[in-house]
Amino acid sequence: MDLSAMRKPPFKQVLNALLDTNTPFPPLYLHRLSNLEPQEVEELKAIWSQIDTQRKRSLLGDLEDLAEADDLLSFDELARFTLKDNDPVVRTLAIRLLWEAEDKKLVPAFLEMMERDPDVEVRSTAASALGRYVYLGEVDEIPEEMLHTIEERLLAVTRGSDHPKVRQRALEALGYSGRPEVPELLLTAYASNDSGWLTSALFAMGRSADTRWENEVIRMLDHARSDVRLEAVRAAGELGLASAREPLIEMLTENGDEDDFVRSAAIWSLSQIGGENVRDVLENLLENTEDEDEADLLEDALDNLSFTEDMQIFEMFDFNPDGEERIFDQEEDLEDSDNQED
């Protein structure tokens, strides 16, 4: 007998619990909302409008936390129909629940929400969600025509007159894009006196995989504002900037009053950059920290550093398109040269 099935509560019981505002929703029922069957989706949709708004918000927030903790869970079916909820907080949370979906069928809805939803937070979250599809387009996972449409509409929003938060999220989404218009937009945002635009520019630079932004990123590692430093630190790691290694180590070993978020980002960025002294620094921090959360982060960073080091060793070898190491080609070149001399 399947014991897991015995523990699975009847779906009607879950629906009744959602409607019962006098009793806290049982946390064990959250798992029951994963991977819903079509009939269950219809049953949930039928009573959704009757559920208290605050309960909806709490529910989707809890589901988001649960999905982050367990990637085997999927609440996509629920999130899809709640994109049209009357409450803007619920719509925002629904978009975030679909962050990992990578379903091109969601693109039209996200574009519509970015451009026309009456709520700023919904529009900005939809713009952020489209960044994943720009990336998918760059790696040929969605049709080129769809990528072009997404980029055109993100560019229009970035250059438009919407709330700055929406335009900034649209610029960040374009960070993955290879469109020739993007670098100029990033430079304009970077040069502004507004920290919101500056952090968005740094965020997008980190996504670009383009080391042309090295000087701009390094310059902001000691910015007076911690939110700017945070994005510069993250961008340095994403771009693998060796020139950021010493400043990041200094943040961790000498700047005892550094912001916790910046400190955590510096640990992770060092694991992405690797190189001289990085392993020693991270191991020493792990040995001396009394913070359990930081210890967990350092352990993960050391694992990631091993991956980074392996990749760096791999990249030391030059491979030709046929998969053979370049060293053999060099030997052949030398033989050809000798034969010509003879």
In a domain, 217, yes or no: no
d(CA 110, CA 130): 7
Query: pLDDT tens digit string along 171-218?
Result: 999 999 999 999 999 999 999 989 999 999 999 999 999 999 999 999
In a domain, 155, yes or no: no
In a domain, 309, yes or no: yes
**pLDDT < 70 positions in the chain:** 1-7, 255-257, 316-342
d(CA 306, CA 301): 9
Which of 43, 129, 120, 125 has its CA nearest to residue 78?
43
Q: What are the backbone dihedrals phi and psi of residue 319, each rounded to the nearest 5 degrees, phi first?
A: -105, 135
pLDDT of the residue at 315: 72
pLDDT of the residue at 320: 53
d(CA 235, CA 37): 41
In a domain, 150, yes or no: no
d(CA 174, CA 148): 11
pLDDT of the residue at 272: 98
- Residue type for position 80: R
pLDDT of the residue at 341: 46
- Which helix (H) or strand (E) segment is 194 a member of? none
In a domain, 304, yes or no: yes
> How many CB atoms within 10 Å of residue 88?
16
Which of 235, 236, 164 has its CA nearest to residue 196?
164
In a domain, 35, yes or no: no
In a domain, 301, yes or no: yes
Asked if 243 contacts 225 with a C-beta cutoff of 8 angstroms, the reply is no
Question: What is the total count of domains within the chain?
Answer: 1
Q: What are the backbone dihedrals phi and psi of residue 325, each rounded to the nearest 5 degrees, phi first?
A: -65, 140
- Which helix (H) or strand (E) segment is 195 a member of? helix 195-207
Query: pLDDT tens digit string along 53-64?
Result: 999 999 999 999
Query: Residue 247 sits in which domain range?
Result: 241-342
> How many CB atoms within 10 Å of residue 315?
9
In a domain, 334, yes or no: yes
Q: What are the backbone dihedrals phi and psi of residue 26, each rounded to the nearest 5 degrees, phi first?
A: -60, 125
- Residue type for position 237: G
